[in-house]
Structure 1
């Protein structure tokens, strides 16, 4: 008597093998989806933490902070600070929402004046960084040494950034 597999046994084993393969594929697909989701969340958190660190350092090392509003009720924040990224002599930092709905950080030699037209010397003596795009609303609130940044991006939840002013002498107006 020969020992071999019957056709039925082969079909059953192939079917079981295919079922296992389908489950493995589904598991791998779900793992790939989860990894992509976590990578996106990680990138978002890195961006938020980077933005928060910039706000923290600018406010903590500020000599003076002036807050005003533009036509659309977005805050215009002018800070004289020792926290500089581009040039140690450019101690004037301005946060504002540009006409293209981008949150800008302007580091300049002279105090930024939104009412004056731009000149060539302004661009020679300043650095403009785009921090966030698609801004619906930007506001800075002050209560003593505590400064709270509020940013609302289009199609996203509001973000709050809490910062504290160090014991340096300050000037603030709302």
Structure 2
């Protein structure tokens, strides 16, 4: 007697194969969605890290820092004279400000000192970099760190060559995400 598969056994095996393939496809699709979310988050984190490194390098390498509060108390204009340059300028003058029309944080860099609004004849010497979009708040606060306090009455400084440390607190809010950077110089 010959033993062979019946039609019903073949149909059941095909149905089971289809069910297994369907679940494998769903698992693969879920994995792709998960990878996309992780990739988006890692890009945000790497952008945040790059932004922090840029702020840190600009502030740490600066000789002069001036913060000007605009008429809108949510935004500051930060003027820096720094050795850090994105455009290979040996000693750059950098301004961070929020463009009021489209709420983007912009970094302006020049080889010559300038103030906002920029004169039309100086605009050709400026490099502009858009850093963040949809900024709702951009503030820079300065404070003396604990190590650079004023001496108490009767107390003398140990060394006149001792450097005073400056502490900067950079705060910006974009897309309902708060970012606070603490920078010591």
Instruction: Give yes or no for contact 1:90–1:126 (8 Å, CA) kept in 2.
Output: no
Q: Deviations over 1:72-119 (max 9, x none)?
A: 1111111111111214245211111112211111112333322xx533
In structure 1, the residue matched to 2:156 is none
Farther-moved stretch of structure 1 (117-126 vs 155-164) = 117-126
Q: Does 1:93 pair with 2:94?
A: yes
**Structure 1 segment 48-127 matched on structure 2, within 5 A:** 48-73=48-73, 74-99=75-100, 100-114=102-116, 117-127=117-127
In structure 1, the residue matched to 2:150 is none
Q: Which of structure 1's runs of 4+ aligned residues deviate more than 3 A?
A: none
Secondary structure of the 2:63 match is strand
Q: How many pairs were matched up?
A: 162
Relative contact order, higher structure (CA 8 A, sep 6+): 1
Q: CA separation in 2, counterparts of 1:102 and 1:112? A: 20
**In structure 2, do the counterparts of structure 1 residues 121 and 90 end up closer, same or farther at CA, with 3 Å as the change threshold?**
farther
In structure 1, the residue matched to 2:4 is 4
Report deviation, 1:66. 0.9
Instruction: Give yes or no for contact 2:93–2:110 (8 Å, CA) kept in 1.
Output: yes
Q: CA separation in 2, counterparts of 1:102 and 1:87? A: 24
TM-score of the pair, normalised by structure 1: 0.86
Q: Does 1:163 pair with 2:163?
A: no
In structure 1, the residue matched to 2:139 is 139
**In structure 2, do the counterparts of structure 1 residues 104 and 72 end up closer, same or farther at CA, with 3 Å as the change threshold?**
same
Structure 1 unaligned segments of length 5 or more: list them: 166-174
Instruction: Give yes or no for contact 1:102–1:134 (8 Å, CA) kept in 2.
Output: yes
The Cα RMSD (Å) is: 1.5
Report deviation, 1:158. 0.9
Q: Does 1:148 pair with 2:147?
A: no
Instruction: Give yes or no for contact 1:90–1:107 (8 Å, CA) kept in 2.
Output: no
